[in-house]
């Protein structure tokens, strides 16, 4: 928070956020984990334990999220994640709460990790990981199209595709 305060005082947007539900949920996940720790996170967010959801810890999580939102610029609503990332790349914003896929945007902008940008865990979450994975879905199709689906699934599961996909995405 002290770092965000300094950025705000210097006229830099402290926190780049794309105001889309999934981006806000990603940040909220991190806030809940940071506020309550892994056991609380599991009980509240995975198990939907009513006591945890109604607890003072969850209320504190919402308070912490509300505090973070005060560091977001007023034009965030509906912004795509990559545009929020571009704000950080250009120096218009200090930080962004985002997954590893944002690294691909930095690489595409010819930015060097450790020199031009840094990636950190959300404060208070060291030693814990929240998984958010990419998925490809298949529809129920007539038999004459199933071979094409199998071919696509086989290709996307290959080591060469996984490596190429994740290098471009920025996750490896």
Query: Any idea which of 5-19, 41-55, 154-168 has the lowest mean pLDDT?
Result: 154-168
Buried b (16+ CB within 10 A) or exposed e, 79-96: bebeebbbbbbeeebbbb
- Give the C-alpha distances (Å, rounded to integers) separating 97 from 31, 53, 84, 150: 10, 23, 10, 36
* pLDDT, tens digit, 9 for 90 and up, residues 150-162: 999 999 899 998 8
Q: Give me the pLDDT at residue 8, please.
A: 96
Is the whole model's pTM more than 0.85, yes or no?
Answer: no
Residues 163 and 92 in one domain: no
Domain total of the chain: 2
Q: If you average pLDDT over residues 43-67, what whole number do you get?
A: 98
* Domain carrying residue 48: 2-132
Query: For residue 96, which of 169, 1, 18, 171 has the smallest C-alpha distance?
Result: 18
pLDDT band for position 172 (cuts 50, 70, 90): low
Which DSSP category does 14 fall into? E
Mean pLDDT of the chain: 92
Residues 127 and 163 in one domain: no
């Amino acid at each position: 928070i002290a770092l965000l305060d300094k950025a705000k005082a210097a006229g830099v947007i402290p926190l780049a956020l794309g105001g889309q539900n999934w981006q806000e949920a990603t940040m909220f996940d991190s806030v809940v984990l940071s506020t309550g720790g892994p056991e609380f996170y599991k009980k509240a967010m995975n198990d939907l334990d009513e006591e945890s959801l109604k607890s003072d810890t969850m209320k504190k999580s919402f308070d912490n999220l509300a505090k973070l939102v005060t560091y977001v610029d007023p034009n965030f609503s509906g912004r795509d994640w990559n545009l929020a990332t571009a704000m950080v790349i250009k120096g218009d914003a200090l930080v962004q709460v985002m997954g590893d896929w944002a690294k691909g945007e930095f690489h595409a902008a010819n930015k060097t990790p450790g020199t031009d940008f840094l990636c950190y865990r959300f404060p208070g979450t060291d030693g814990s990981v929240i998984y958010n994975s990419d998925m490809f879905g298949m529809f129920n199709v007539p038999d004459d199209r199933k071979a094409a689906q199998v071919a696509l699934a086989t290709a996307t599961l290959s080591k060469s595709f996984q490596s190429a996909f994740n290098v471009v995405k920025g996750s490896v």
